[in-house]
């Protein structure tokens, strides 16, 4: 088998990628159909094609890093040249496919075939630039920067930057093509350097499905542990340890305090990040009220990442099955309460500070901060029991955990929208039912299942 | 605990994972005060056995009792008497080592601070380091410390020394021998490093494909097998060597190396004298015994 073909097999052998293919493919088709069918454009809409190229570049970059970071691949004969060939092959195919919708750009309706071909080449080049930059940045492991670009991409659609990009592609094709040639040359040379392979070899790299796979994250736990550089506050430890000691071994409160301690000690060093995330979400919801029903559930979903069920703890202190069950429920309730408190505080403070929050005016766009309705807290009490069930059911199974985290997002957002117009009593009843279901699932697993999973 | 000092009892216990039988109708009785080695190849069922004993796995059939209580129902009182070291177990990576030790110690009123300090000094444990930043060997040391710090009556060690360097392993074995001095303390240890295990165990359980193929005292196991170096005193060795229970034989004209089963030293020497040979009898190392028991020649 040719080495290039062997590497291409990664794209169809990884079953987890099919989810991306389906979701990404549907989105792309729907968007292209809208572009072509409705003849929209001229206001930055076509830049969404660049965003799609960006994400494809990220996926290809991640796949290459997953192989290059494995030490065995360093000595694979012929492998090094294959990386850039594969990247460019995928890049050319992607850019070609994404350049075709440019035919439907409103600016080309009265132009001749030569101009249309030139604009297509410009569209191809622009896609290639973005794709290659995405690959290059991904393999440099600057994940935060890459993820930040996601938000920048959303902003492109709202501001003149997207319009400027689109107009450059249509009206300055020569410049775009030249830039693409320069970028392609630079990335081709850069990906072929032997030094790059040495840098990647055995480097800590959490692969595509690996964040949900504890056996993989354990391998690079030393990298993750570096974020906890600050020494713990002795008073913090003393508070919880005294509470643990104050209850006897048969008192479930001992284990509940123990779980609250381990969870708090995990959140405390990351507290600034959590607060920043919540503030950003609430500010976003305030400036774009139509996004509010979606933003808060997403934040809630991210906060459920702190659920680390003591049900499956391998430390000898987790107690009997009954104590593990109670401690797991206590953890989920505490996290839900904590999240509601943090988001509620942020809402309260920002709503009170509303007269001081500036109005954003860019071109024709005017965004003013409006008070966020406290009903936005309701999704929090619904998300946690759902994600609690997902986490205990799919613990140790990375693919199912990922699906269980991503797939309910749509339903959670729909529920968030419904909640705004639903009487509080019904909301409370729904939340009660979900929490009861969560308790039953946790209890059943605690009493009837194996508590060690790989 | 039952009257005859049995603290672990398993009756016809079976456990399967996705069709693979990890435990196959296992019967076991572990008496208190023993160091029992649980030996077997990868996938033999050792970890499954140990986890079933403390109730982490629920058997598909059969009954498991630990300290007279069904393993699935082990409560804090019973669990407070059991120390367990997982194979590649998960610790709290975001804590410092000192934080983790204090956290675990808070659960045990009988935590021995002197033992903890001695262990930290002997094994060079860095209490300020993050658990997540430790090497596998250092993690294992911490895991062992938090399992022994409260001096449990039953200590279950699943591959505890696999990541330790030779010096640390030797220290760990010395520690085990110290721990076993306490009356009625029981240790179950599973390990691939049979040369280490044979220095400390007094009882052996050998597993193969989910079954216990041997469960006897280590002395009995050693006495069952013998390696005999046979040297002809005058002339060549006879063509046929009249020994019973021959498992393996390597020979030339003047010498032979035999592995014999269930032959007493007296009968071996008598047979050797009868064919005008000298017999040097040596016990087999545990590794060789293990290979013979599970059928590899």
Residue-level pLDDT at A152: 66
> With bands split at pLDDT 50, 70 and 90, how would you rate the model's confidence at A207?
low
In this prediction, residues A361-380 reach a mean pLDDT of 75
DSSP string of chain B, one letter each residue: --TT-EEEEEEEEEEEETTEEEEEEEEEEEETT-EEEEEE-TTSSHHHHHHHHTTSS--SEEEEEETTEEGGG--HHHHTTEEEE-TT----TTSBHHHHHHHHHTT-TT--HHHHHHHHHHTT--TTSBGGGS-HHHHHHHHHHHHHTT--SEEEEESTTTTS-HHHHHHHHHHHHHHTTSTT-EEEEE-S-HHHHTTT-SEEEEEETTEEEEEEEHHHHHHHEEEEEEEESSSSPPSS---SSEEEEEE-SSEEEEEEES--HHHHHHHHHHTTEEEEEEPPPHHHHHHHHTT--
Sign of CA dihedral A419, A424, A429, A433: positive
pLDDT band at B45 (very low <50, low <70, confident <90, very high): very high
Q: What is the pLDDT of residues B106-133, one digit of tens each?
A: 999 999 999 999 999 988 899 999 888 8
Interval B158-215: pLDDT, tens: 988 888 888 888 888 888 888 777 767 899 999 888 888 888 899 999 999 999 999 9
Same domain, A169 and A247: no
Name chain A contacts of B76, Cβ cutoff 8 Å. Answer: 249-250, 254, 319-320, 323
- pLDDT value at position B278? 92
pLDDT band at A149 (very low <50, low <70, confident <90, very high): low
C-alpha A445/C-alpha A154 separation (Å) is 42
Q: Which residue of A has its CA nearest to B84?
A: A316
Q: What is the largest CA-CA distance in chain B?
A: 73
Identify whether residues A272 and A173 lie together within a single domain: no
Average pLDDT of A424-434? 86
Average pLDDT over residues A166-183: 90
Parse chain B into domains and list their residue ranges: 6-209, 223-293
* Tokens at A132, concatenated: 């290659």
B77-86: pLDDT as tens digits: 999 999 999 8
Q: How many domains does chain A have?
A: 2
Considering the domain boundaries, does residue A214 fall inside one? no
Q: Is B163 helix (H, G, I), strand (E, B) or coil?
A: coil
Contact across the interface for A320 and B79, Cβ inside 8 Å: yes
Chain A residue with the nearest C-alpha to that of B143: A315
The H or E element that residue B231 is part of is: strand B225-232
pLDDT higher than 60, residue B296 = no
- With beta carbons under 8 A apart, name residues in chain A contacting B106: 241, 244-245, 258
Predicted pLDDT at A323: 93
Q: Closest-CA residue in chain A for B103?
A: A241
CB contact under 8 A, A321 and B72: yes
A127 within a domain of the structure (yes/no): yes
Tell me if A181 is assigned to some domain.
Answer: yes
Closest CA to A61 of A205, A180, A217: A205
Residue B183: which H helix or E strand, with range? Answer: none
Average of pLDDT values for A125-147? 77
> What per-residue confidence (pLDDT) applies to A406?
73
Residue located via tokens 């249309």? A116
Closest CA to B23 of B3, B43, B2: B43
B51·A218 Cβ contact <8 A: no
**Taking CA atoms, what residue in A is nearest to B106?**
A245
As a whole number, mean pLDDT of residues A310-314 equals 88
Number of A to B CB contacts under 8 A, please give it.
Answer: 107
Who has greater pLDDT, B141 or A365?
B141
Over residues B217-261, the pLDDT tens digits come to: 999 999 999 999 999 998 888 888 899 999 999 998 889 999 999
Give residue B93's pLDDT. Answer: 83
Are residue A176 and residue A125 in the same domain, yes or no? yes
A338 and A382 belong to one structural domain: yes
pLDDT at A125: 94
The boundaries of the domain holding residue A394 are 230-448
* Best residue in B132, B140, B152, B160 for a mutation probing chain A (most A CBs within 10 Å): B132
Q: What is the pLDDT of residue A441?
A: 95
pTM above 0.80?
no
> CA separation (Å) from A293 to A46, A352, B256?
27, 20, 85
**pLDDT, greater one: A324 or A161:** A324
DSSP symbol at B201: -
Topology of domain B223-293, CATH: Alpha-Beta Plaits (3.30.70)
Quick one: residue B280, left, alpha or beta (phi over 0 = left, psi -120 to 50 = alpha)?
beta
Banded pLDDT at A2 (limits 50, 70, 90): low
Q: Which residue has the higher pLDDT, B47 or A356?
A: B47
Determine the Cα–Cα distance for residues A285 and A279; give it in Å rounded to an integer: 10
Q: Alpha carbon of A409 to those of A383, A416, A437: distances in Å? A: 9, 10, 19
Assess if residue A454 is contained within a domain. no
Q: What mean pLDDT value characterizes chain B?
A: 89
Minimal Cα distance from A313: which residue of B? Answer: B90
Same domain membership, residue A39 and residue A119? yes
Min mean pLDDT across A98-112, A202-216, B149-163, B229-243 is at A202-216
Quote the percentage of chain B above a pLDDT of 90.
60
- CB A250 to CB B73 under 8 A? no
Q: Determine phi and psi for A382, rounding to 5 degrees.
A: -95, -40
Please give the average per-residue pLDDT across A291-304, as a whole number: 78
Q: Which neighbouring-strand residues pair with B38?
A: B190, B205
Please enumerate residues of A whose Cβ is less than 8 A from a Cβ of B: 214, 218, 221-222, 224-226, 228, 231-232, 237, 241, 244-245, 249-250, 254, 258, 261-262, 265-266, 269, 313-317, 319-323, 447-452
pLDDT at B297: 39
Q: Taking CB atoms and an 8 Å cutoff, what residues of chain B touch A250?
A: 75-77
Q: Cβ contacts (< 8 Å) between B146 and chain A: which residues?
A: 315-316
User: Is A427's pLDDT higher than 90?
Assistant: no
User: What integer pLDDT is reported at residue A222 of this predicted model?
Assistant: 61
Distance between CA B151 and CA B14 in Å, rounded?
31
**B279 Cβ neighbours under 8 A, 6+ residues apart:** B228, B229, B230, B268, B269, B271, B272
- Nearest-5° angle of CA A57, CA A62, CA A65? 125
A163 & A239 share domain: no
The domain B6-209 is placed in CATH, from the list 3.40.50.720, 3.40.50.300, 3.40.50.2000, 3.90.1150.10, at 3.40.50.300
Assess whether A284 and A141 both reside in one domain. Answer: no
> Residue A243 — pLDDT band, cuts 50, 70, 90?
very high
pLDDT of res. A170: 85
pLDDT for B218: 93
Size (chain B), residues: 297
A112 CB burial (10 A radius; 0-12, 13-18, 19+)? exposed
Per cent of chain A over pLDDT 90 is 21
Q: Which band of pLDDT confidence, cut at 50, 70 and 90, is reported for residue A230? A: low
| A46 shares its domain with A160 | yes
Could you report the predicted ipTM of this complex, rounded to two decimals? 0.84
Q: What is the predicted pLDDT for the residue at A109? A: 76
Q: Are residues A428 and A335 in the same domain?
A: yes
A9-19, pLDDT tens digit by residue?
677 777 767 77
Cβ atoms within 10 Å, residue B109: 11
Same domain as A140, residue A54: yes
Residues A201 and A271 in one domain: no
pLDDT at B21: 92
Put simply, the answer to whether B130 touches A225 (Cβ < 8 Å) is yes
- CB contact (8 A) between residue A266 and residue B94: yes
Chain B CB contacts of A320 under 8 Å are: 55, 73-76, 79
Mean pLDDT is lowest, of A71-80, A182-191, A242-251, B90-99, for: A71-80
Which of A214, A218, A320 has the CB atom closest to B76's CB atom?
Answer: A320
β-strand partners of B26: B13
pLDDT, averaged across chain A: 80
pLDDT at B157 over 60: yes
The tokens describing B224, both together, are 């069952």
Residue to test with chain A: of B18, B53, B73, B76, most A Cβ within 10 A: B76
- Indicate the residue of B56, B109, B133 with minimum beta-carbon distance to A222: B133
Residues of B with Cβ-Cβ distance to A317 under 8 angstroms: 103-104, 107
Strands B225-232 and B277-282: antiparallel
Interface test with A, best of B53, B55, B91, B93 (most A CBs within 10 A): B93
Q: How much is the CA Rg of chain B, to the nearest whole Å?
A: 22
User: What per-residue confidence (pLDDT) applies to A52?
Assistant: 87
pLDDT above 70 as % of chain A = 78
């Amino acid at each position: 088998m040719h080495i290039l073909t062997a590497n291409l097999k990664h794209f169809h052998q990884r079953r987890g990628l099919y989810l991306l293919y389906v979701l990404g493919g549907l989105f792309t088709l729907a968007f292209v159909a809208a572009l072509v069918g409705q003849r929209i454009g001229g206001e930055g809409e076509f830049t969404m094609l660049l965003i799609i190229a960006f994400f494809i570049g990220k996926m290809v970059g991640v796949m290459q890093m997953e192989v290059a970071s494995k030490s065995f691949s360093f000595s694979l004969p012929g492998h090094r040249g294959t990386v850039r060939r594969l990247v460019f092959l995928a890049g050319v195919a992607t850019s070609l496919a994404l350049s075709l919708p440019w035919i439907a750009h409103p600016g080309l309706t009265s132009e001749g075939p030569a101009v249309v071909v030139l604009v297509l080449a410009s569209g191809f080049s622009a896609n290639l630039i973005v794709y290659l930059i995405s690959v290059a940045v991904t393999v440099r492991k600057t994940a935060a920067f890459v993820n930040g670009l996601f938000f920048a991409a959303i902003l492109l659609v709202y501001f003149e930057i997207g319009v400027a990009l689109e107009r450059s592609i249509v009206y300055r094709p020569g410049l775009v093509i030249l830039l693409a040639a320069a970028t392609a040359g630079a990335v081709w040379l850069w990906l072929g350097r032997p030094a790059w392979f040495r840098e990647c070899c055995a480097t800590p790299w959490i692969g595509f499905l690996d964040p949900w796979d504890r056996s993989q994250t354990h391998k690079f736990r030393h990298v993750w542990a570096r974020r906890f550089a600050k020494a713990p506050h002795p008073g913090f430890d003393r508070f919880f340890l005294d509470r643990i000691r104050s209850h006897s071994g048969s008192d479930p409160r001992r284990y509940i305090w123990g779980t609250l301690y381990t969870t708090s000690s995990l959140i405390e060093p990351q507290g600034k990040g959590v607060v920043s995330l919540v503030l950003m979400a609430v500010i976003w919801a305030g400036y774009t009220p139509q996004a509010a029903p979606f933003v808060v559930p997403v934040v809630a979903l991210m906060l459920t990442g702190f659920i680390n069920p003591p049900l499956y703890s391998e430390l000898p202190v987790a107690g009997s099955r009954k104590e593990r069950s109670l401690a797991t429920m206590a953890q989920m309730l505490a996290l839900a309460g904590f999240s509601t408190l943090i988001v509620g505080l942020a809402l309260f403070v920002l709503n009170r500070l509303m007269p001081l929050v500036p109005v954003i005016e860019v071109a024709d766009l005017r965004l003013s901060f409006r008070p966020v309705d406290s009903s936005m807290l309701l999704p929090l009490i619904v998300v946690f029991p759902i994600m609690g069930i997902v986490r205990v059911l799919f613990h140790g199974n990375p693919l199912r955990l990922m699906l269980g985290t991503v797939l309910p997002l749509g339903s959670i957002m729909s529920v968030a929208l419904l909640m705004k117009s639903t009487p509080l009593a019904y909301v409370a009843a729904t939340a009660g039912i979900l929490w009861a279901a969560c308790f039953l699932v946790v209890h059943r697993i605690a009493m009837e299942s194996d508590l060690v999973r790989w | 605990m039952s009257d005859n000092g049995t603290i672990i009892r398993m009756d016809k216990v079976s456990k399967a994972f996705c069709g693979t039988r990890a435990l196959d109708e296992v019967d076991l009785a572990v008496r208190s005060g023993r160091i029992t080695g649980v030996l077997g190849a990868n996938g033999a069922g050792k970890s499954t056995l140990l986890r079933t004993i403390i109730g982490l796995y629920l058997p598909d059939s059969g009954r498991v009792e630990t300290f007279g209580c069904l393993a699935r129902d082990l409560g804090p009182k019973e669990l407070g008497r059991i120390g367990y070291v997982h194979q590649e177990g998960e610790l709290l990576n975001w804590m410092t080592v000192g934080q983790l030790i204090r956290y675990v110690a808070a659960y045990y009123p009988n935590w021995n601070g002197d033992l903890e300090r001695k262990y930290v000094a002997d094994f060079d444990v860095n209490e300020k380091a993050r658990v997540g930043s430790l090497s596998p060997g250092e993690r294992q040391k911490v895991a062992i410390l938090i399992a022994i710090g409260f001096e449990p009556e039953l200590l279950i060690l699943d591959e505890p020394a696999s990541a330790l360097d030779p010096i640390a392993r030797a220290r760990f074995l010395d520690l085990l021998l110290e721990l076993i001095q306490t009356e009625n303390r029981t240790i179950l240890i599973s390990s691939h490093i049979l040369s280490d295990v044979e220095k400390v165990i007094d009882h052996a359980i050998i597993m193969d494909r989910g079954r216990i193929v041997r469960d006897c005292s280590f002395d009995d196991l050693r006495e069952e097998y013998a390696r005999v170096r046979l040297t002809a005193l005058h002339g060549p060795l006879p063509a046929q060597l009249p020994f019973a229970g021959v498992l393996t034989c390597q020979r030339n004209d003047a010498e032979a190396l035999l592995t014999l089963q269930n032959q007493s030293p007296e009968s071996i020497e008598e047979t050797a004298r009868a064919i005008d040979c000298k017999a040097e009898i040596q016990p087999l190392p545990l590794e060789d015994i293990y290979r013979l028991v599970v059928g590899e020649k």
